[in-house]
Amino acid sequence: AVVRSLYQRRCLCSKMAMSQVVVREPDLLDRKKASIRNAGTSKLQVIADFDGTLTKYWCNGARGQTSHGLLQQGNAEYDAKRQMLYDYYHPLEISPSIPIEEKTKLMEEWWEKTHGLLIEGGLTYDAIKKSVADATISFRDGVVQLFEFLEEKDIPVVIFSAGLADIIEEVFRQKLHRSFKNIKVVSNRMQFDERGCLVAFKGKTIHVFNKNEHAIDMAAPIHDEFGNLDGSDVNGTFVKDRTNILLLGDGLGDLGMSDGVSFENRIAVGFLNSNIEKSLKDYSEAFDIVYLNDASMWGVFNLVSELC
């Protein structure tokens, strides 16, 4: 019986994997869609993770790079030091056996050390531009069209990342050749001197396990693509007043990105990029919609069209 049930689970998983999208409770999803549509676009905001959510997990046959992973400081010694930190800390980040409090301390340590090395190793803005130009990174198909549609409808998008804001914004410039007035990046932001050398990081560090503490930043008005306040968001209202949320993430921790908003309705969309058989159950319980196999953003585009 155990073998049969394992076999049935395997069949179910492979069927779901082939079908690319899993919705555990279609009726609940339909109800959420109807409530959001009835409330109107002025109540809606999108909160998205960046790496592996807006960007492809696989890019031209290779693993897509993250905003941290693509960075070449132009200083081989420091690149190697950051790689050593990655090799040590990343297994701890994803280890299922370390309690979250302990992991949080370890992640604080990792981010602090990496940020320190970036400053000490003399990172320049020019090195960021070159790193992005050389990077294996690309947006999922349909992301541009999704952003254009949301901009047209004056729906704000908050991109929430434990990566590096300056790099994410450079990826937008180089890969999309444009910025969007409705997009705000909440991430670790660098401060450069007049020669273009990194001297400090602004504000509190955002790492993978404290993203939700920074949700409060979303209550601030939308910034322009360089992080400058423009005084209001696209509708002259604050993002926190938008109580219907479309959340896009690729990790279970990404669900915490909406903690700062007391929302009425939330549709959570998860991109399950790896360990599909092991994680599908948890993902399909936590997210309303789960996309598999490095799916495009067209499904989300169609969903948003239904909501507006």
Chain positions contacting ligand TMP, by CB under 6 A? 49-51, 66, 68-69, 82, 85-86, 93, 110-111, 114, 161-163, 208, 251
Contact between residue 300 and residue 248 where contact means Cβ atoms under 8 Å apart: yes
Instruction: Return the number of the residue (67 or 265) whose C-beta is nearest ligand TMP.
Output: 67
Contact between residue 266 and residue 45 where contact means Cβ atoms under 8 Å apart: no
Q: Specify the residue for token string 């993002």.
A: 239
- Tell me the torsion sign for CA atoms 96, 99, 100, 103: negative
| Torsion angle of the four alpha carbons 142, 147, 152, 154, in this order, in degrees rounded to the nearest 10 | 150
Pick the catalytic residue: 49, 166, 250, 288?
49
Distance CA 279, CA 284 (A): 9
**Beta carbon of residue 304, minimum distance to ligand TMP (angstroms, whole number):** 22
**Beta carbon of residue 160, minimum distance to ligand TMP (angstroms, whole number):** 7
Beta partners for 44? 244
Pick the catalytic residue: 27, 51, 193, 230?
51
**Beta carbon of residue 106, minimum distance to ligand TMP (angstroms, whole number):** 11
Instruction: Return the number of the residue (50 or 147) whose C-beta is nearest ligand TMP.
Output: 50
Instruction: Return the number of the residue (69 or 256) whose C-beta is nearest ligand TMP.
Output: 69
Instruction: Return the number of the residue (155 or 208) whose C-beta is nearest ligand TMP.
Output: 208
Clarify whether 49 is annotated catalytic.
Answer: yes
- Token pair for residue 161? 């990342």
- Token pair for residue 148? 């254009």
**Beta carbon of residue 29, minimum distance to ligand TMP (angstroms, whole number):** 24
Give the residue numbers marked as catalytic.
49, 51
